[in-house]
Amino acid sequence: MQAIENLSESKLSVVIYALTIVVVALVAFMIWFPGVLSLGSLDVSYAPKFHAFINGTTAVLLTVGYTLARRKSYNAHRMVMLAALGLSVVFLLSYVVYHSQQTEPVHFGGQGPVRVLYYGILISHIVLAAVILPLALFTIARSWRGEFAKHRKLARVTFPLWLYVAVTGVVVYLMLYQWYPQA
* Residue 72 located in a structural domain: yes
- Of the candidates 62, 55, 103, the one whose C-alpha atom is nearest the C-alpha of residue 80 is 62
Burial 56-76 (b: 16+ CB within 10 A, else e): ebbbebbbbbbebbeeeeeee
* Residue 3 located in a structural domain: no
Q: Running along the chain, 183 residues long, what does each successive block of 10 average in pLDDT?
A: 70 92 89 76 88 97 97 96 95 88 83 95 95 95 93 97 97 94 77
* Residue 4 located in a structural domain: no
35 CB contacts (<8 Å, ≥6 apart)? 100, 101, 102, 103
* Residue 36 located in a structural domain: no
Cβ of 2: how many Cβ atoms within 10 Å?
7
Instruction: State the Cα angle at 129 between 15 and 77, rounded to 5°.
Output: 75
pTM (two decimals): 0.89
Q: Are 68 and 159 in contact (CB under 8 A)?
A: no
Domain count, the chain: 1
| pLDDT tens-digit series, residues 10-54 | 898 999 999 999 999 988 888 788 777 777 777 888 999 999 999
* Residue 148 located in a structural domain: yes
Task: Print the domain residue range for 136.
Answer: 44-179
Query: H or E segment at 9?
Result: helix 9-32
